[in-house]
Structure 1
Amino acid sequence: MTDTGGADPASPSPRPPPETPVPETPAPGAKADPRLIAAIVASALFMQNLDSSAVTTALPAMARDLNVEPARLGAAITSYLVALTVFIPVSGWVADRFGAKRVFMVAIVVFTLASVLCGRASGVVELIGARVLQGVGGAMMVPVARLLLLRQIRKDEMLSAMAWLTMPAMIGPISGPPLGGFLTDAFGWQSVFLINVPIGLLGLVMVAWKIPPVAPSNPGPPDHLGLVLIGLALALFMFGLETVGRGVVPPGLPQAGLVLGAVFGWAAIRHCRRAKRPALDLSLLRIPTFNTSTLAGSLFRIGAGTSPFLVPMLLQVGFGRSASEAGLVSFATALGALAMKPLARPVLKRFGFRQALIGASLLAAVGVALPAAFTPAWPAPLLFAVLALGGLFRSLQFTALNTLAFADVPPARLSAATSFAGTAQQLAPALGVVLATTTLEVSARLGGRHIPAEPDFTTGFLVAGLVIAASAPFFARLAPDAGEAVSGHGAGPAKRLPAE
């Protein structure tokens, strides 16, 4: 990954930003507490993240009930991820056209109803169809939720709001596996999906009640060709990533998906750089803070995305501990993330984004690499403490990255920025899992083993730590005063994000 420092090196001369509509603005006199808005929006994101991680735990039970091989049910995960990734780029346009609050509420309804259909599925085809519908709802929830929040807050409120919004991304993937195991054992795999119903209904009521209304605008026609090219590129690429080496499709198809995904991706980039209103606004990368938080931030997220996969696998496969024990120990990362929530704002105000991102990335790299030293002799409390410490620094980094991304984005381009950032953030964790599985497989083969053992997990954690550390030099290229209007570091004035 090459950081461009805010410039597009492949462009011979800067082209003017694409025409954009007047952004949504809150209704006159409507001003809610940004922490309340963030908490309400975060409840829907928690539902999505919890579902994504809990389903994996329930797969063996689902396979038994549906009378299929567990490997075939990998399509239930792949179909959701593909739908989620494909529909994120259009979310910004839909939010502008129909109103962010309205689209967000519809997305919650779609995701909740699709969860009911998943729980009532009696066959693989029905389950995959319901998961695709879930992915469509989820694609609208993530970036539109962030856009809905950004429309309502000032820059000096952004850090506090983003700290609340970051929690679901940290807690959901960690709490999902133990909760999914408990629900599956106690009530059946259907409950993993049906738990979304009360969460979705509560979130829907709170959004309708507490979040101020916003008005739609006229963003013009969507970039149909760009959306098709991006959709094909992401769908094929995600299909390749999710099926390669798993034996769920005929040999050669995953590799073909990756190659075709790269070809369509190249075509999509060429088109989006020339289109007047592109589906993916690459000119946003000329904004240094957005560039760094998106590109260098993706490198960080890839390394961090290995941890939720590697830690439970090490505890169960490497140390022979039960799924419930592994889930409880892994939950330490979420507790560390929660502990960082009240500390993020003073840390960023004291050090600024540049120093905080450099320091947190290096400390997070150490935190991710430390489990390489774990052995079966380590007591659970010590394992818990190490993982909690790692979660602390990763939480600071996620909050800083999510905030910095929009610190200098003009209000009229927030919709495009949330779609762009959402697409990048969705791809990174998937690439993190691929990095983890590939490292384990290569290490095991080099050691003459058919099943990953402790030395292979050691390699996996060390490689993940190196990937995270590699993001630090890119953060060092930020200006010392980058995002100071948001962090409060220095004398930068606080400005309201939406047009007054």
Structure 2
Amino acid sequence: MGPLRLSAFGLTLGLVTGLDFSSTLMMAVASQHIQGGVNATPSDYLYAVSAYAAAAVLMNMLLDQIARRITYKRFTMASLVVFVLGAILCAEAGSPTGLIVGKTVEGLGAGGLFAASRILVQLLTAPAERAPLLLRFGLGSFGLLAVTPWLTGIFLDEIGWRAVFLFQAVIALPVLALVALTYPRRGPRDPHPPVSTLDWPAALSAAAGALVLLHTLQEMRYTRFFSTPHMPLMAAAGLALLLFCAWRLHRHQDPWIDPSRLLGRRYLYGLGFYTLYYLLSAIWAYLLPTLTQSGLGLTFRTTSMLLSVSGTVSAIGAVVLTLCMAMVFRKRRVIAAGLVVYACAAMLLSQRLMPGAPDYALVPVVLLEGLTPVLLMIQVASMTYLDLPVEDFAHAYQFKNVCKQIASATGTGLASMWMQEGAATHRTHLVEHVTRFEPALQQGGGLSALDLAQLSQEVDRQATLLAGMDLLHGFALVCVLIAAFVLVQKSFR
């Protein structure tokens, strides 16, 4: 490829990846508006989120087998078409069932885009050739992720919740055209063609197991895990289905994901750090909008702008780091520094959680948080796959993205559960201090219904802020402990 074609190809790879990232982010940022638009209960909405994640898990497992049959270019183009169809179905949904169907289709389209793009970079380039491609890849993916929250805020305020999905469909169309124009037209034939069957019992068990397990994890937002036998049994059923899938794959001649190729110590440590990062980022992604809107009373558009500032920092940092990658040594220390930065962002946010705090007080928080993907995720990525041969990279990246989906669902569920428990505890303590000796309660005639509603709302707001502070302190402590572990261990260098 010439320089212009190379730049267009790398940017297109990043934009394809950014579609997957942005669709997940927009679903999280606009959750309340979408839920109200289709009259969905919290459980119905969770099924839509879980259906997307389960479909994404399935496509990550099938990716290599399908792409080896039809090429990665055709797989990407077909996935984008399915993604557009799913986004249109979501935009036209008038009921929770329609939203669930649309998100399932969208997950089938978007679920494999990130892995397919990253695997293609690895397959097409020698190690010395990857830096220019990865530079443009990072610019496209992080750049799209930076503008997505800002555009989401505008569309929701000006048009409505359906515009969120219509935007996803519209922006995917030029990306589809870029894939057709910039991706390589042909490549060498696969010396190891896939076997004749995809083993559909394993595929169905993987899809069902991922759906059941991820929905159970998501349901922790509203239900304690051990409060009833239902949730532990559902989680056990999901794990059993996934274990059945693993058993089938173990016996398969050419499995979608072959764990026997992925037992290297460096890869397993990298996978562990990946999982921890996605767990922490899911907790943060749940906390920040919850605390800014429910706790501080900031508008949806203001929260979206803060998220865009964080994404912009990540995009700039990814470009700078890629240009300077050869000068970054002692990557363990960089990863540890990233975890400390995450801890500082959490502690700074906890100090800003005061009633009446202005929106600009949160800018330093999102600036710090925006550095964490650069210091953590990109550094882990640069070390995890060093010992893997090229032919095993597809298996490794597929499995990594499956772990990503599960870790993200777990982090969201845990954050919601801890917030609910903390808010309930603090609400009880706050109510104990609302006695007849309060000045407001000693006015003649007592409080009106409006006054009581305002008092209850203020108690809820204070309980949310206090619970958020507790969770942020714990978040910072965990980050510091992981940073210490990163520095002392010797297996991931």
Q: TM class by shorter-chain length?
A: 0.7 to 0.9
Cα distance, 1:423 vs structure 2: 1.0
The question of whether the paired residues in 2 share the 8 Å contact of 1:303 and 1:467 is answered with no
Q: Which residue of 2 aligns with 1:127?
A: 99
Which of 471, 481, 484 pairs up with 1:460?
A: 471
The question of whether the paired residues in 2 share the 8 Å contact of 1:288 and 1:478 is answered with no
Q: Which residue of 2 aligns with 1:81?
A: 53
Q: Which residue of 1 aligns with 2:209?
A: 233
The structure having more radius of gyration, on CA atoms, is 2
- The structure that is helix-richer by fraction is 2
Which runs of structure 2 are paired with 1:175-214 in the superposition (5 Å)? 175-214=147-186
Q: Which residue of 1 aligns with 2:433?
A: none
Q: Indicate yes or no: 2:116 matched with 1:116.
A: no
Cα distance, 1:100 vs structure 2: 0.9
Q: Which residue of 1 aligns with 2:254?
A: 277
Q: Indicate yes or no: 2:298 matched with 1:321.
A: yes
Deviations 1:95-146 (A, max 9, x none): 1222111101111111012212222233332332122111101123121121
Which runs of structure 2 are paired with 1:248-327 in the superposition (5 Å)? 253-269=230-246, 272=249, 276-327=253-304
Q: TM-score under structure 2 normalisation?
A: 0.81
Which of 425, 433, 451 pairs up with 1:446?
A: 425
**SS of corresponding position for 1:260:** helix
Gaps of 5+ in 2: 429-458
Q: 1:152 to 1:134 in 2, by over 3 A?
A: same
The question of whether the paired residues in 2 share the 8 Å contact of 1:56 and 1:177 is answered with no
Q: Indicate yes or no: 2:345 matched with 1:367.
A: yes
Q: 1:149 to 1:157 in 2, by over 3 A?
A: same
Q: Which residue of 2 aligns with 1:9?
A: none
The question of whether the paired residues in 1 share the 8 Å contact of 2:12 and 2:140 is answered with no
The question of whether the paired residues in 1 share the 8 Å contact of 2:19 and 2:110 is answered with no
Q: Indicate yes or no: 2:327 matched with 1:349.
A: yes
Q: 1:170 to 1:310 in 2, by over 3 A?
A: farther
Which of 44, 49, 55 pairs up with 1:72?
A: 44
Paired residues, number: 451
Q: TM-score under structure 1 normalisation?
A: 0.80
Gaps of 5+ in 1: 1-28, 483-500
Identical positions, percent: 18
Deviations 1:409-450 (A, max 9, x none): 212122212211221222222222122112212322333449
Cα distance, 1:310 vs structure 2: 0.8
The question of whether the paired residues in 2 share the 8 Å contact of 1:284 and 1:291 is answered with no
Q: 1:283 to 1:475 in 2, by over 3 A?
A: farther
The question of whether the paired residues in 2 share the 8 Å contact of 1:372 and 1:457 is answered with yes
Q: 1:159 to 1:31 in 2, by over 3 A?
A: closer
**SS of corresponding position for 2:125:** coil
Cα distance, 1:170 vs structure 2: 5.4
Q: Which residue of 2 aligns with 1:397?
A: 376
Which of 64, 82, 87 pairs up with 1:92?
A: 64
> Bigger CA drift: 90-99 or 29-38?
29-38
**Aligned partners of 1:369 and 1:272: how far apart in 2?**
45
**Aligned partners of 1:408 and 1:427: how far apart in 2?**
25
The question of whether the paired residues in 2 share the 8 Å contact of 1:181 and 1:323 is answered with yes
> Bigger CA drift: 415-424 or 256-265?
256-265
Q: 1:253 to 1:161 in 2, by over 3 A?
A: farther
Deviations 1:246-281 (A, max 9, x none): 37xx97544432121233344445555565533332
Q: 1:73 to 1:438 in 2, by over 3 A?
A: closer
Q: Which residue of 2 aligns with 1:477?
A: 489
**Aligned partners of 1:163 and 1:462: how far apart in 2?**
35
Which of 126, 137, 141 pairs up with 2:113?
A: 141
Which of 411, 416, 426 pairs up with 1:432?
A: 411
Q: Indicate yes or no: 2:348 matched with 1:336.
A: no
**SS of corresponding position for 1:151:** helix
The question of whether the paired residues in 2 share the 8 Å contact of 1:233 and 1:264 is answered with yes
Q: Which residue of 2 aligns with 1:26?
A: none
**Aligned partners of 1:223 and 1:30: how far apart in 2?**
41
Cα distance, 1:160 vs structure 2: 5.2
**Aligned partners of 2:30 and 2:198: how far apart in 1?**
39
**Aligned partners of 2:474 and 2:482: how far apart in 1?**
13
**Aligned partners of 2:105 and 2:179: how far apart in 1?**
21
Cα distance, 1:162 vs structure 2: 4.0
**SS of corresponding position for 2:329:** helix
